[in-house]
Structure 1
Amino acid sequence: MSGIDIYMVRHGQTYFNLLRRFQGFSDAPLTESGIQDGHKAGQRLAKIHFDGAYSSDLTRAIHTARYALSENQAGSPVEPTTLPNFREENFGSFEGRDSQVTLTDLNASLPATYSTYADMVKDLGMPAVMDHFAAHDPYHLAESYQDFLTRVQNGFNQLRDLHQDGDKVLLVSHGTTIRAIADYLGHPEMAAQPVHNGGIMHLKLTADGADILAFNDITTNFE
């Protein structure tokens, strides 16, 4: 199958992840475990020569990409180029808040009660969940699904412009971004899964779409 191979990695664990807080456009440093997440992902990708290496412009993704690239044994770039279009979803004024407190607030305007973000996505679907956050952000900062989708599509078009069939690309991004891409590509069952820090989604990007070859992978040594 022709196309561009994209190895899309979720950043390592941050202190907001550890404390179970919504993160989004806000940033928190990697924990010691998060640093190791980056190294471990890099070790499983160490034999791949990457024709390009990218991350979102949030520091947790940049640092994870650097740790991953430090493990590469195939002459890949040593520093990622930032692509802001692959940022995490913007959760607006919900960012930095405890996830359970936030879900309790959002449940008040839903017909069912959800104890986890994953349960909400599984039942309502990613587009509806993103739009629910946007509709109930009192500061009107949270992204709608269409806003999110437009910028991610622009990001993939950037990669199509930068690369050609047969190229291999490292891209460090974020959990909800990865899940929403899987949903958009026709896999809501994947979108309902929390993505491991350092988990890898392998995409084949073509001129008119993309196929998922691996998702949320924390065990495979890719070649």
Structure 2
Amino acid sequence: MRDSALLLYLVRHGRTHANTDGLLQGWSDTDLTPDGLDGVRATARYLAPVPFTAAYTSPLGRTRATAHEILTHHPDVQVSDHAGLKEFSFGDLELLPESALFSRVDPVDMFREVFEGTFAGLPGGEPAQVYLDRVTDAFTTIEQRHRGGGPVLVVSHGVTLMVYLTLHGAVPMQALANASVTVVAVHPDGRREVRAVGIDPSGHGDDVPDLPQDAAVAGDLAAHDATALTPPA
């Protein structure tokens, strides 16, 4: 029997040169690295059996490139971009080393305040509540467009995908790896069920550090099986 829920397949973009170099990326863009592209192609093969009905990306090149590779297995699926799916803006610090951020703020405190909507923003960046509002708007739009169910691909960014999970009570204890897959079922009654978090067909999760435990805002994972998920039809 076909699942009546809308199944959101949330994919973080592939590894980029900025990721490899430890630079803050945000709204800036760098290309996928060769191994990043290989990882995305592994994810694309993993997702090949999923009969996607639609696909969404942020307007940034790294998410579009990731979606392009995944959709080579789904040539009839149309892709749309939504500005609300962009990453959190690091403002004037973008494309600087991560140490430039850590010297200004405690990252645990900062991201907790981002998820709570209380962070004022970095110089040249956006306030957290503006960020949360646009991410919420993007996912609300996608959910409403596809109320009839079926699988939908959403390619976005690490913090943005974690915000979506956190806003609905599922707080990952580990950063999402590049090219990883997280699956959320949105039921007709509005209930959201996290079916899998951080499936890593690319193997890029090996060097993703655990988040500090006190970075959690609220809630627990509704389901966390990153090893034995068969993509639902």
TM-score normalised by structure 2 residue count: 0.78
Residue 192 of structure 2 aligns with which residue? Answer: 210
Aligned residue type for 2:45? Q
How do residues 138-217 of structure 1 correspond to structure 2 at under 5 angstroms? 138=123, 141-188=124-171, 190=172, 192-206=173-187, 208-217=190-199
1:89-117 superposed Cα distances (whole Å, 9 cap, x missing partner): 1111121110023202224xxxxxxxxx4
Query: How many residues end up aligned between the 2 structures?
Result: 202
CA contact (8 A) 1:133 1:142 kept: no
Matched residues, percent identical? 25
Change (3 A) 1:49 1:12: same
Aligned residue type for 1:15? H
* Structure 2 gap segments, 5+ residues each: 202-228
How do residues 61-100 of structure 1 correspond to structure 2 at under 5 angstroms? 61-72=63-74, 76-77=76-77, 80-100=79-99
Aligned residue type for 1:18? T
Cα offset, 1:143, TM superposition:
2.2
Give the distance between the partners of 1:209 and 1:27, measured in 2 at CA: 34
TM-score normalised by structure 1 residue count: 0.81
Q: What secondary structure, in the 3-state scheme, does the structure 1 residue paired with 2:51 have?
A: coil
Aligned-residue Cα RMSD (Å) equals: 2.3
Q: What secondary structure, in the 3-state scheme, does the structure 1 residue paired with 2:182 have?
A: strand
Change (3 A) 1:126 1:200: farther
CA contact (8 A) 1:126 1:183 kept: no
* Structure 1 gap segments, 5+ residues each: 108-116
Give the distance between the partners of 1:4 and 1:169, measured in 2 at CA: 7
Aligned residue type for 2:167? Y
CA contact (8 A) 2:27 2:89 kept: yes
Give the distance between the partners of 2:37 and 2:147, measured in 1 at CA: 31
Residue 25 of structure 1 aligns with which residue? Answer: 27
Give the distance between the partners of 1:133 and 1:13, measured in 2 at CA: 28
Residue 11 of structure 1 aligns with which residue? Answer: 13
Cα offset, 1:51, TM superposition:
0.6
Change (3 A) 1:142 1:4: same
Residue 222 of structure 1 aligns with which residue? Answer: 231
Cα offset, 1:126, TM superposition:
5.3
Cα offset, 1:208, TM superposition:
3.5
